[in-house]
Amino acid sequence: MLSFIILIVGLAMLVKGADIFVDGSSNIAKAFGIPSLIIGLTIVAFGTSAPEAAVSITAALKGSNEISIGNVVGSNMCNSLLILGICGLIKSLKAKKEVRKRDFPYYLLSALVLLIIVSEYFFSGQEIGYITRYNGLILLCFLGIYLVSLVNDIKRNQKNDNKEEKQKFKIKDLLAIIVGIVGIVLGGQFVVDSATDIAKTLGIAENVIALSIIAIGTSLPELVTSVIATKKGEIDIAIGNVIGSNIFNILFILGITSVISPLSLNFNTFMDIIFMFISSLMVFIMLHKNNRIGWTKGASMLAMYVLYMSYILCR
């Protein structure tokens, strides 16, 4: 019971810490005149993925590789199927051309690169696969290429725009960043420790806990952001938040985590990565068909997520 309480407290600290961090960072960035769009694509993207980063890095340092990888894969499944599915039920989603032509294909590419990296071990008959430091550097390089392309597009689109109006620098925003980071780090430690204890006590595999409870918990910032954005009619933010977070999860979190400590994974985790790629491809196809995700497609995505959760709990 104590482990469950600590898990809930840890998830709450992760979500609140990320929220405080995003607000403080955004305000300081605006004080230096950084455009809002760049803030959204960098600081907000990192902030909503900060819980996943804290959990995965902490787990890797403690040798809980299945939690480290499962958290990322589970979060991406949750983002693609659960969050977009719920948003599709609330209001019909239509993404801008840039998201359909640039961002979502890049997410598919990042998922494919991850799949290729780990598949060579299992296709050669080995029971354990690895994401090495060299593989991590490759993922980080892909992230760098993506960010450069985003910045270049922003510069092209803002040539005729007015400069962002600066706001006053406030000490409380700097304190908010510090408090947010502390909450994220401590929350990550609480989640990993309690999840590991729960898995051992109940005899459940660590990656099952990571793919379900931890993944949904660390995806709460994306869920809240996308649902509120959908209700307000900000469809681009709702979809972009999910896709951007998924790209960040694979390229940054698994990239930096494997550079710090190489990750090992079993065949079940390999299958989860395959399912992540297939589900992402299906969502991509749904988004391109009529360029919309409505009630029917949203319900189908939720059904796929329920089936996947049933599979990992029964295997």
Q: Could you tell me if residue 95 is inside a domain?
A: yes
CATH of the domain at 43: 1.20.1420.30
175: in domain: yes
pLDDT in tens, 186-204: 887 788 778 778 877 888 8
- Residue 165 falls within a domain, yes or no? no
Distance CA 197, CA 25 (A): 34
pLDDT at 164 over 90: no
**Does 164 fall in a domain?**
no
146, with CB counted inside 10 A (0-12, 13-18, 19+), is: buried
Q: Find the Cα–Cα–Cα–Cα dihedral 253, 255, 256, 258, rounded to 10°.
A: 110
Query: Which tops the pLDDT comparison, 1 or 12?
Result: 12
Inside any domain, residue 163: no
What whole-number distance in Å separates Cα of residue 73 and Cα of residue 131?
A: 14
Q: Bridge-partner residues for 129, per DSSP?
A: 265
CB-CB neighbours of 89 under 10 Å: 18
- Assess contact for 305 and 85: CB atoms under 8 A: yes
Most confident stretch, 43-57, 128-142, 210-224, 289-303: 128-142
208-223: average pLDDT: 81
**206 belongs to a structural domain:** yes
In this predicted structure, what is the pLDDT of residue 72? 93
pLDDT digits (tens, 9 = 90+) for 126-151: 989 999 999 999 999 999 998 888 77
Question: Residues, the chain, total?
Answer: 315
| Residue 210 in domain | yes
Q: Quote the longest CA-to-CA distance of the chain.
A: 60
Predicted pLDDT of residue 305? 95
Q: What pLDDT was estimated at residue 159?
A: 60
- What value does the mean pLDDT take over residues 232-250? 81
Distance of CA 250 to the CA centre of its chain: 8
Q: By 3-state DSSP, what share of the chain in percent is helix, strand and coil, each rounded to 5?
A: 80, 5, 15
Q: Domain count of the chain? A: 1
Q: How confident is the model at residue 287 (pLDDT cuts 50, 70, 90)?
A: confident
**Is 120 domain-assigned?**
yes
Could you tell me the residue range of the domain that residue 8 belongs to? 2-158+170-314
More confident call, 157 vs 88: 88
Q: Give 85 or 48, the one with higher predicted confidence.
A: 85
User: CB–CB of 55/67 below 8 Å?
Assistant: yes
User: How confident is the model over 52-90, as pLDDT tens digits?
Assistant: 888 888 888 888 888 889 989 999 999 999 999 999 999
Q: pLDDT band at 41, cuts 50/70/90? A: low
Q: Residue 18: phi, psi to the nearest 5?
A: -65, -40
